[in-house]
Every structure is written in structure tokens, then in C-alpha cells.
Structure 1
Amino acid sequence: MGSIDGTRPSLVVSAGMSTYDIAVLPGDGIAPEVVAEAQRVLDAAAGPVLNYREHPCGANCYLETGDPLPPATVEACRDTDAVLLGAMGLPDVRWPDGTEMRPQVDLRFLLDLYAGVRPIYLYAEHHSPLKGYGAGDIDFIILRENVEGLFASMNGGIQVRDETAVDSMVITRSGTERISEYAFKLAADRQAERAANQRGARETHVTCVDKANVFKSMAFFRHVFDGVAAGTDIHADHAYVDAMSLHLVRRPESYDVMVTENMYGDILSDLGAGLVEDDVVPALEPRVEERRGVGTVLGVERGE
């Protein structure tokens, strides 16, 4: 089981539990090196005992076995307390339709990891390409709905001859309600931290990021979000995704928790990572992916 403190992934230590089993999916390219360093950090935190067990997954796994996500790996992820996952996929290893191997995305759907929590936090002034921002001045969460939206067409898009290709946006009431509820829970946690002087002062609020002025699916997403917001005492507002791309560069300090559709969250979280990393160290994207009452996937990678 896992949670997040708003700036970095962490395991929640439950009463009576001093040991956790962690399934490690090292990934491709330089990802195994990154994951190994992440394990060193987790061990240095001197928390509960973490038992790591590595499992094959990724584009290299496909080249070796013919399957980028073996069933045994999926079952291991179901049965563990948490998963530590590295970036997966290689540009030259693709399916016949031209798409890359994406086992990390497949895993989200198989485990219903609906909440993609992307914390964006500036630790040092020189890390940001933006002038005038010090440590803690940029501090927000992008909450990405992880198993619907445009990604729901991932294995179901249509291509007609060599002429037409169609992917569909899928938005459901239940999926939007649970991700919106999660957003307000994160905001409430951050509000409590501010009250205890554990987080920098700013207005606690949740922003629904959509394209409701054009797409019926996004208008429905906003409508369901507003219904959830009406049942809370936390301020809620809206922004169109194109405008948000501008606002995050001009005034990132204005935002607290953002909730959005899958593809929009994919794009904005890379932009957010770029706001808090310098041009020497690649912009890494720490994240937590959760589903209610089940294990957590902790990832450190550069986008998808």
C-alpha cells in the first residue's frame, strides 16, 4: 500500500507492519541504473525493511521472450505491497502497427491503477529554467486519470486500409467521480499540512483541466467534476488544457492540485517536470499510481 506527501513517493507504514515486499520492474535503457539508485534512496530512509524481487518486463524482455509483460510479472505485481518501476520501451522495438512496447501502460489497465499522481516540486532555485523561483515556490500535483480518456483506445483503435485511423476518447461517470474525489482528498491533505506549517502557504484548490469548450467528452468530465466539487468545502476552478500549458510557464505558483484526462495529464506532467529540473539533469517524473485498497506503483522516469 502506498501514498504520497505531495512532493515525492513514499510507502505508508501501517501499524504492525515492519516489512514490505516490493516488485521491481527495472525497465529499459538507463532505467535499471535509475531504479538501482532509487532503491539506495529507499534503503537509506531507514524506514521499514523492504524486500525487493526483480521481475522481467519491457522492450528487452520482448526481444528475449516475445512478451513485454509476462503473465507471471503481472501476478507478482498483484500479490506484492508495491511496485518500483523504471522507464520502459525502446524507440526501435515496436509492434507491427508502429506503436512502441508500453507494458507500463498495460499494467495500469490490468491493475486498474486509475490515479496517476505526478508531484511537481522545486527543491532549488538553480534547478528551474524560470527566473525568480526559489525552493518550494513551485509546488503542485498533476493528477492524471490513468485508465480512461484517449488511452482507452490504446488497443482498440481502428485503421481502415492505409487511408484512415481513428482513436476514441472514453470518459465515464464512475471513472471521473473517483479521480475527482481523489483530487479533493489530496487537496485536503495539503490543506492540513499548511495548517500545521508543513507546507508553504498558498490557496488550497483543485483545478479541473479539460477542453470543455470543444469536446462533449470534456464537457461531461467537467460536469461530473463540478458535482463532486459541490460536496466539498475546498475551492474548485477550471482551465482549458491549452491555456494551462501557458499558465504553468507564466505562473506555476498559482496552482495546487490539478485533475485531468489521461492524455492531457501525460503532456502536462512532462511540462511540469521541466519546470523543476535544470538543463543538465534530464527531467525525471516521479509518480505514484494507485487503486483503491490495493498496492501502489512507484515510478521514476522521463515521461512515456
Structure 2
Amino acid sequence: MTTSRAASLERGGRRAGNSRVGEMLRQWRDRRRVSQLDLAIAAEVSTRHLSFVETGRARPSREMVLRLGEHLDVPLRERNHLLLAAGYAPVYREGELGDPEMTAARSALRQVLTGHEPYPAVVVDRMWNLVDGNAGVALLTEGAAPELLAPPSNVLRIALHPAGMAPRVLNLGELRADLLGRLRRQVDATADPGLAELLAEVRGYPCDDPVPEVEVPGGSAVFVPLRLRHRDRELSFFSTIATFGAPLDVTLSELAIESFYPADAATGEYLRRAAAANGTIDGGSIRPYPT
């Protein structure tokens, strides 16, 4: 092969690589509904150079890929993919929760979960798989089919599947609309095909309780509650969601803690009395996904 031919092939390979990362960056910019000018100003690069990057005429530096990814709020997992497409090694590690480096994070998660008892709390990953949960989770999984509880158990399947929690949810249509909305926004934010498949699956579960097309809250409503039938009584909960601040590990960045709180005094009193009498809340068992 002649020198000129080899150089031509090398330039062609570089252009192909530049085109891949450029197209990926443009897709993320479109997904975030950010103009080229606005992104260029925020990232402190010229609009001309950003245009060259997106069209494959220029190769971005590693620092520029990271800067653009940050301003576009690209998930850490996808920032690594951008780096690979640009010809660089990933910079964000993807560890296991059981790694020694994760000791402090594991301890914090366990402290939050146990400190929240007797109320339910779960830790889920990006696919809504259960990573960990406290004793109160048994209240939510009571009566669920064993196959739904076997690891890796998925909290959306448990909540909405007819063999899971759904038959005991008194406001299933309202809760289903809220959960599907959260998942749909997550799909839009991450472009994750696995999440899109999960959305299609759980959206197909039957639901006799009509799902409202548009949420019109009541005059005194401040959140969508979980109204759950537990034996001869109705329990009501609301939830909060927490994540790790400024994570530099892909796994940690994708974990979320959802903590359930009593939405009325009767629910709180019942759970506290039951826990004081039994040491825990009786119900089904759930096994966290092994990490």
C-alpha cells in the first residue's frame, strides 16, 4: 500500500470516528432542546467549532467531550460512550456495590434504610431493579407472586403487575399514571433502550381502574398517594426520592432511594404499633438483587 493510500485511509477512519461522536452529541443536544448557539456559549466554545464537531469535520478533545456532556446533562454511562466514540478511554468507573471502594456508600444506604423503619424504603438501580430494601418493604410485597420477588426483582413489575401489588392498590389508575409518567420522562432523559422496553412492558399490564389522561389534582391534594389495602384496613403513603450527590461512579450515579412516609395519622400509628408489637411488619418476603 502506498503512503498516500495509507494516509487517506487513516484520514477516513478519523472522519468516521469524528462523525460518530458528532452525531451522538447532536442527538443529545436535540434531546435536551438546546440550540447550537446556547450550548456553545455555555461550554465556552465557538459555534463554528461546535458545528464542525457535530458534522465530523473536527475531532473534539477529551476535555471538550466531557465539558459538552456536562452541559447537556448526559448520564455518566453515556459520557463514557461519547468518549469511546471520540477515541478516548472512559473516565468514569463502573464498580460493583460490593467493591471495597463502595464501603462508605453501602454504609450510608443501609443507614438510611434501617433508620426509616418501620416505614418502607427501597434502593433501585437505573432499571428499577431492587438493590436493597428494609423490613417495611414486606408490607408492599405482601401476596405478590414468588416469581416477581425473585432477584433481580423489579419494583415497577411488583407495583403494577396483576400478580403483584396492583390488586391491593385502591387508586391503581392514579398510581399507574404517575409511575408510567416517571418512567417515560426517564426514557426521554436517557434514551436507554432497556428502559423503553420496560415502559412498553408495564404499559401493557391490564388495569381496570381507568388511567386519567390529564392529572387534575383535587383542591387539597399535594402529591399522588399510594392507597394500599392491608388486610382489613387502608394505608396511605407518599414517597420521596434521594440520589447520591456529585457521583463519579456510574453505578452510584444510577442508584435512587425511594422512602415511603405515612400520608395520614392513622397509617403512621398503625405501622408504629405493629412494629412495636412484632419487631417488624408481617408480609411477603423480598430478596434484594445480589451486588
Judge same fold: TM > 0.5, yes or no. Answer: no
TM-score range, shorter chain: under 0.3
Higher strand share: 1
> Of Structure 1 and Structure 2, which has the larger fraction of its residues in helix?
2
Q: TM-score w.r.t. structure 2 length?
A: 0.26
Could you tell me the TM-score, scaled by structure 1's length? 0.25
